[in-house]
Structure 1
Amino acid sequence: MAAVMEDAAENLLAVEKVDLRYGQSQILWGMNLAVRRGSCTCLMGRNGVGKTTLLRAVMGLAPTFGGSIRFHGQDLVRQPAHQRARIGIGYVPQGREIFPQLTVLENLQVGLGIREHGLSEIPERIYELFPILKQFLHRRGGDLSGGQQQQLAIGRALVLEPELLILDEPNEGIQPNIVREIGDIIIRLNREVGLTVLLVEQKLPFARRLGTDFVIMEKGRWVATGTMSELTDEVVKAHLAV
């Protein structure tokens, strides 16, 4: 299997030897993660191994000690969360975290101007990807279904025009037909537009359909990594089977 830090020049995002603790509980132990430019990297592992915590660390929402988090070679460890969005990292957290009292349009407008030389209007591409958002522009976010809220959360992240899109379990609590839609959109963004994606996903068929690369975590550490073709039944049985 490929080494995690195989080729630093290829990696858009590189996490090296990162530790993180909450109080007396250490969650990440010397964690490594590499996301190649243009890849769709699936971060996998059983519940409670630290996947969401790692994403929060990348976004500056959870404090780390030791190690480095590099984007385009620039260490982000001392950068605040808003600066990480400004330099091109879009984040769709678990649970979506849209603003329920704001309209769809107002939720999307939150992302305008965050990037340096940012957009002044919502790109029409957002509505091409998610036609339902254009239909419900003036509906409150909290009145949307779970699947529609997830589309809004992804659309809001895309307004930033990110180079890296991070999604934390985008299928959680979503009806199957919307899951398929969201998967199609992620594939389109990754393979046609060239957007680099880091995706936490528990459902193996979905991960295999979308992913080009995988990283598996256990107890706050990486234990396996490689291209998706290397995610064999033996690796699944050893690290993902419940």
Structure 2
Amino acid sequence: MISMKKVSQLYGGTQILWDLDLDIEPGSITCIMGRNGVGKTTLMKAIMGLLPIQSGEITMTGEPLHKQSAERRAYAGIGYVPQGRDIFPMLTVEENLRIGLPVKGKKEIPEKIFELFPVLKEMLHRRGGDLSGGQQQQLAIGRALVLEPKVLILDEPNEGIQPNIVKQIGDVILKLNAEEGLTVILIEQKLGFARRVGKEFRLMEKGRIVAADKMENLNDDLIKQYLAV
């Protein structure tokens, strides 16, 4: 589905990614994990086209992505929910959701969004900035799903979110993966959530993938070496 080969990336004069290789299989839920500062968010932004890469290649189903704009990558079927959500606080919930409709050539918000996140229908005419953190995260995910993506990238979707919303987000990820075959790439610091939702893990250290396996094989030794603070 998505493949990265020998990807290096510089940010502000500092090299963040070092000859990184990553393969994401279709229909997988892959958790990208590692301590703070190892390059996880930079990796996601490189996939999405928000940061240019210095060298290497990124492909999706064999087609080159690394020379395409972020907008074109959205058209290709990549949905992105950044860390911190980045909704438009002065726009209503409805206006936030409608932003992605032209990409799919549609005029109406898919009813599926409201089935997954009923609160968004209840608050359709409220401004995004007036929602709670958990509601804003649901809005951010809903906005990405309006694009009907083949791949959904989520950067720490549970950061600062109340437990009941965390569970709901996990349920939505599992539902979309099981019923629609949605491929999910997830940056997640909460080990319990990663084990509940993830099918595979990739551990990062110093801008490289240093371990990759099925989630059930994420053992205490790997946790201590690459995740423990």
Structures share fold, TM-score greater than 0.5: yes
- What residue number does 1:100 align with? 89
**RMSD (Å), alpha carbons:** 0.8
Alignment-derived partner of residue 156 in structure 1: 143
Match of 2:174 among 184, 187, 193: 187
Asked if 1:64 corresponds to 2:53, the answer is yes
Q: Deviations 1:120-156 (Å, cap 9, x if unpaired)?
A: 2111000000000000000000000000000000000
Number of residue pairs the alignment of both structures matches = 229
Quote the residue 1:170 is aligned against: 157
- Could you tell me how far apart the structure 2 residues matched to 1:23 and 1:56 are? 15
CA distance in 2, matches of 1:70, 1:217: 20
Q: Distance in 1 between matches of 2:55 and 2:35?
A: 25
Counterpart residue type for residue 13 of structure 1: I
> Paired residue for 1:18?
7
CA distance in 2, matches of 1:59, 1:39: 18
Aligned partner (choices 135, 150, 156) of residue 122 of structure 2: 135
* Residue from 49, 52, 76 that aligns with 2:41: 52
Q: Which runs of 5+ in 2 are unaligned?
A: none
Give 2:184's match in structure 1, choosing from 168, 177, 197: 197
Q: CA deviation at 1:119?
A: 2.3
> Residues of 1 paired with 2:2 and 2:102: CA distance?
23
Letter in 1 for 2:43: L
SS of corresponding position for 2:129: helix
Q: Return the match for 1:39 from 13, 16, 28.
A: 28
Q: Which runs of 4+ in 1 moved over 4 A?
A: none
Q: Which of 185-194 and 47-56 deviates more?
A: 185-194
Q: Residue 213 of structure 2: which of 204, 226, 242 is its match?
A: 226
Q: Percent identical across equivalent pairs?
A: 64
The Cα shift of 1:23 comes to: 3.1
Residues in 2 aligned to 1:179 and 1:122: alpha-carbon distance in whole angstroms: 24
1:7 equivalent in structure 2:
none
Displacement of 1:234 in angstroms is 1.5
Please say if 1:211 is aligned against 2:201.
no
Correspondences of 1:102-117 after superposition (within 5 Å): 102-115=91-104
Deviation at 1:93, TM superposition (A): 0.2
Partner of residue 122, structure 1: 109
The AA in structure 1 aligned to 2:111 is E
Post-superposition offset of 1:25: 0.6
TM-score normalized by the length of structure 1 = 0.93
TM-score when normalising by structure 2: 0.98
SS at match of 1:62: coil
How far does the alpha carbon of each residue in 1:25-71 deviate from its partner, in whole angstroms, 9 at most, with x for none? Answer: 10000111111100000000000000000000011111101111111
> Where does residue 81 of structure 1 map in the other structure?
70
